[in-house]
Amino acid sequence: MVSAAQDIITKRDGNDIKSIVIEILPNAVKYRNHDNQKGPIYTLNKSEVFMIKYENGSKDIFASQTASDLIGSKSATIYFYRPKKFASGRTKIIVGTVEPDEVVVTLKNGSWYKMTYEHLGERNFVAGVFSLNTETYKLNIIGDKTYYIKCSVLTKGLLVMAELEFIDKTIALKEMEGLRKQKVP
């Protein structure tokens, strides 16, 4: 049995994807899996792609992107929100980043906060109630994109901890209904 021609997408992590490349956009590569050529179209961030070797033997090699190379504006929009809860309702959640070391927002119960974030690229977010947790939450921030981060207070025995969760836009907007906008000086 003869196999149909295929393109090979080599990711920066070294993994290869046998594919049929559909389109190369300024910040993404659209493709179908070679084994399911009539299946769904997948999108891969161009920053994850090292090289594409096409079925005809030609290659496209993609330079490593830095934060300033990311296509679009030089900022992203991030919504932090905290659904209203009766338990631990007075406790504020502190959200910050590891590098740069900064507090992004101190979020009140039942509120949301929108910010323009200019530190593009991979960022490690941390959260805490009385002190910051050691757990970090990675997010690769790309210019012109919008992100939704749900902030929650958890109690584990005597410990009161904060948790961050990256949420799909549709779910986030539904959960944000009825919350109040928080102003940060």
Between CA 41 and CA 51 the distance in angstroms is 19
Please state whether beta strands 180-181 and 111-117 pair in parallel, antiparallel, or not at all (unpaired).
parallel
Does the reported pTM lie above 0.85? no
Q: Does the pLDDT at position 15 exceed 80?
A: yes
Q: Token pair 């836009």 is at which residue?
A: 169
Q: What is the pLDDT of residue 70?
A: 46
Report how far apart the first and last C-alpha atoms of the chain are (Å, whole number): 67
CA distances from 156 to 87, 91, 109, 160, 178 (A): 13, 15, 19, 6, 28
Q: Which amino acid is at 112?
A: W
Edge-to-edge strand order for the sheet containing 137-141? 102-107, 93-97, 121-128, 137-141
- As given in the structure block, the two tokens for residue 62 are 């993609």
99-117 per-position pLDDT tens digit: 778 888 888 889 999 998 8
104 close to 96: Cβ distance less than 8 angstroms: yes
* pLDDT-derived band at 2, boundaries 50, 70, 90: very low
Q: What is the pLDDT of residue 59?
A: 85
Between CA 57 and CA 126 the distance in angstroms is 45
